[in-house]
Amino acid sequence: MRSHTIKSHGAKVAKYHMHDWLILLLLVVIEVILYLIHPFYRFVGKDMMTDLKYPLKGNTVPVWAVPLYAVLLPIAVFLFVYIRRKDVYDLHHSILGLLFSVLITAVLTDAIKDAVGRPRPDFFWRCFPDGKELYDRWGNVICHGYESDIKEGHKSFPSGHTSWSFAGLGFLSLYLSGKIKAFDRKGHVAKLCIVFLPLLAASLVAVSRVDDYWHHWQDVFAGGLIGLVVAAFCYAQFFAPPYNDEGWGPYAYFRALEESRSNSNAGQAMNALNVQPVNAQVMSQRGRRNGDDFASLEELESGRMRTHGGNKRKNSSREARLKMHRQRQQDLIVEEVKKCFTGKTRMNKMCFVLINEMKADEAIVSLYKS
């Protein structure tokens, strides 16, 4: 089977999925808007501040590092697999699935963040950086901290770091489990170490968000769940489950493989049928050279017959040979047409070609229609 490279099939695959890439750009725009708008500023009373006085710390995992390990690292793995297998379907669909997984997760996460507006564990110091509390007559906080800190302080639920991590690394974990055939029922449990490694990295990121007091444990739990679910759905759009026998490749690859085999088999069938008239003509010429009075098929069809050595065949013998030759040709066509039904697709276009090109009789036509 020849390779499906970027050069040979890349433009075709990208054009076929053009609308998917346009939707991807739309998701980027939506994500930017959700990030810029203000979240819901929910009521925060004095008695609630008891659980919101954790120290204001920096991020153990900076924001800029999240796209590196959640997006670029998996893409590097996809490129490595492409270099070895030369399958543009696998490369394209894995990258497209990964980007959809991360961006859908980002949109869901930020939409929920803005709608919920849950304060972070360090909200007190964001709201009152000098430690002087101030409340209105209803008991709600009157913050006098930096506006950016206050805005970020209302985006606790769910955790964005965690959801992005599980969306990207969770997709990578599914991808690797399919590629190494981790569930091939052969008992190589060591393969699971490779499968769980990306999930472990995502889990450590989630733990760091709680340790930095940027999130409550419920935030990271919900973020991890969102990322994993979205990653599983996006992976299932392009790849079979990892435990499937065809889980090591994308659906598109196996479709291309089946089409290639079907076209190859159809071409071989046509070549076999085209050889028969040539063989009949060669045998006729050999017969004439050996003194045999057996004529070519065209001569038999037109009723003309050459004689050699002054001996003529009787009409009954000639008709019998002609009938026998026709029967052999018909049997050959019938056998070739029957091969059309051995594949998965019953209505094979090549069957029409065989019938039309070889001018099959009514018996063959009825066989095809049955």
Return the minimum-mean-pLDDT range out of 35-39, 45-49, 149-153, 299-303: 299-303
Q: Which of 110, 127, 113, 109 is nearest to 54 (CA)?
A: 127
Q: What percent of the chain has pLDDT over 70?
A: 70
The answer, yes or no, to whether residue 352 has pLDDT greater than 50, is yes
The answer, yes or no, to whether residue 21 has pLDDT greater than 70, is yes
Contacts of 128 (CB under 8 A, 6+ apart): 134, 141, 143, 144, 145
Residue scoring higher pLDDT (249 or 62): 62
For position 282, what pLDDT does the model report? 45
For position 269, what pLDDT does the model report? 52
Return the minimum-mean-pLDDT range out of 58-62, 77-81, 193-197, 243-247: 243-247
For position 264, what pLDDT does the model report? 58
For position 309, what pLDDT does the model report? 45
For position 292, what pLDDT does the model report? 45
Distance CA 370, CA 365 (A): 9
Q: How many CB atoms lie within 10 A of CB 283?
A: 14
The answer, yes or no, to whether residue 189 has pLDDT greater than 70, is yes
Catalytic site residues?
Answer: 161, 215
Give the residue-averaged pLDDT of 5-14: 74
For position 307, what pLDDT does the model report? 45
Distance CA 133, CA 142 (A): 8
Binning pLDDT at 50, 70 and 90, where does residue 270 land? low
Dihedral angle of Cα 237, 251, 242, 342, to the nearest 10 degrees = 140
pLDDT tens-digit map of 210-259: 999 999 999 999 999 999 999 999 999 999 888 887 777 787 667 766 76
Indicate the burial class of 209 (C-beta count within 10 angstroms; 0-12, 13-18, 19 or more).
buried
DSSP class of residue 295?
A: P
Give the residue-averaged pLDDT of 60-81: 95
The answer, yes or no, to whether residue 198 has pLDDT greater than 60, is yes
Residue scoring higher pLDDT (320 or 84): 84
The angle subtended at Cα 313 by Cα 309 and Cα 319, nearest 5°, is 150
pLDDT tens-digit map of 278-310: 444 544 454 444 444 434 444 444 454 444 444
Beta partners for 239?
Answer: 250
How high does pLDDT run on average in the chain? Answer: 80
The answer, yes or no, to whether residue 345 has pLDDT greater than 60, is no
Q: Which residues of 129-141 are buried (b: 16+ CB within 10 A; e: fewer)?
A: eeeeeeeeeeeeb
Distance CA 264, CA 355 (A): 18
Q: What percent of the chain has pLDDT over 90?
A: 50
Measured between alpha carbons, how far is residue 181 from residues 1, 63, 133, 274 in Å? 21, 34, 58, 44
- Residue pointed to by tokens 């004689």: 307
Q: Which of 246, 244, 229, 103 is nearest to 185 (CA)?
A: 244
Q: Phi and psi dihedrals of 145, rounded to 5?
A: -90, -170
Residue scoring higher pLDDT (56 or 299): 56
Question: ω before 74 within 30° of 0 (cis)?
Answer: no
Distance CA 147, CA 126 (A): 9
Return the minimum-mean-pLDDT range out of 112-121, 177-186, 274-283: 274-283
Measured between alpha carbons, how far is residue 328 from residues 128, 280, 324 in Å? 98, 11, 6
Q: What is the CA radius of gyration of the chain?
A: 36
For position 35, what pLDDT does the model report? 93
For position 276, what pLDDT does the model report? 52
Q: Phi and psi dihedrals of 366, rounded to 5?
A: -65, -35
